[in-house]
Amino acid sequence: METRAAIAHRYPVGEIEIIVVPDGERTAPVREGFVLNAPVDEVKAAYVAHGIPEGRGNTPFNPTVIRTAGRTVLVDTGCGADTAEEPGATAGFLLHNLAVVGISPNDVDVVIISHFHGDHVSGLVAPDGGPAFPSAEITVPANEWSFWMDDGARERATPGRMERLFEHNRNVFDPLAERVRTHAWDEEVVSGVTAIGTPGHSVGHTSYLVSSAGETVFLIQDVSNHPALSLAHPGWHLAFDQDPVKAEATRRRTLDWLAHEHIPVQGFHFPFPGHATVEVAGDAYRAVPIA
């Protein structure tokens, strides 16, 4: 039976409305090598400390809808609706959950992509292979686009995951290329939403600062995985990080800024709904949910 996450969570940021519409989550055994620089038993214990069953890891997926200046904007697209058709699926439910809250694919005016990993870009494609959001402009970080669309970089890709990512990204974006525009770091992508460069997890990984009427929220995206890992252990390097050392430096700098400036966070991989503040906890951090 399909397992669906809660349908949505809404809150205002000044005159902007945020709607967190989950794609679902995945829970699976913690495998050796998922964290590159920590013993697997320590990783399992970190999850247990956050209420996840022993030996299991958890990854939520929380795309964000932003309603700003009369436009409906979606930030990242989840694992893809075809995933929801798999037996026992627990992710791939973004289109379903959007429909439940009254947002059809044609209502989405802009899709913003933070980086080109499958759980962020796969939902651009509908189950029939066409565009999932037929009326939407797609905007992506310029340096992320340059890397993944570079044939030379593709030829130099290490065998395994990186080769598969290049192939997947070409399959996703080649049919959509005419609708894609790029944006730079520090650019206001749409009204009230500014791109913030947070590289390391991928070469052009980008987070987004939403600001309106003196209020803010920071879409942290994959600067942080589940708080059990990235906040409680900011020095841990995940296997999915393209440049683990740079990812750690970005994570520490970003978390320190968020904690000291008291900027609320929207976490793509935080437990739903992922709206929280970040606090310093010794030499690490913790997420405190915002009610």
Residue 3, pLDDT score: 46
Domains for the chain: give ranges and CATH numbers: 9-289 (3.60.15.10)
Q: Look at phi and psi of residue 80 and say left if phi exceeds 0, alpha if psi is from -120 to 50, else beta.
A: left
* E strand or H helix that includes residue 72: strand 71-75
DSSP state of 225: S
Query: What is residue 222's predicted lDDT score, i.e. its pLDDT?
Result: 98
Distance between CA 198 and CA 193 in Å, rounded? 15
Alpha carbons 233 and 247: distance in angstroms, whole number: 13
> Distance (Å, rounded) from C-alpha 214 to C-alpha 227?
27
Q: For residue 166, which of 212, 120, 200, 118 has the smallest C-alpha distance?
A: 118
- The stretches in the chain having pLDDT less than 70 are 1-6
Res 7: pLDDT: 82
Side-chain half-sphere CA neighbours of 278 within 13 A: 31
Q: What is the dihedral of CA 140, 141, 145, 146, to 10 degrees?
A: 150
- How many CA atoms, within 13 angstroms, populate the side-chain half-sphere of residue 182? 16
| 175 exposure class (CB count in 10 Å sphere: 0-12, 13-18, 19+) | middle
SS3 92: coil
Strand partners, 289: 276
Query: Residue 4: its pLDDT value, please?
Result: 52
Instruction: Write down the pLDDT at residue 45.
Output: 98
Residues 6+ apart with CB under 8 A from 19: 8, 9, 10, 64, 65, 66, 67, 101, 103
pLDDT score recorded for residue 6: 64
Of 77, 31, 35, 39, the closest CA to residue 56 belongs to 31
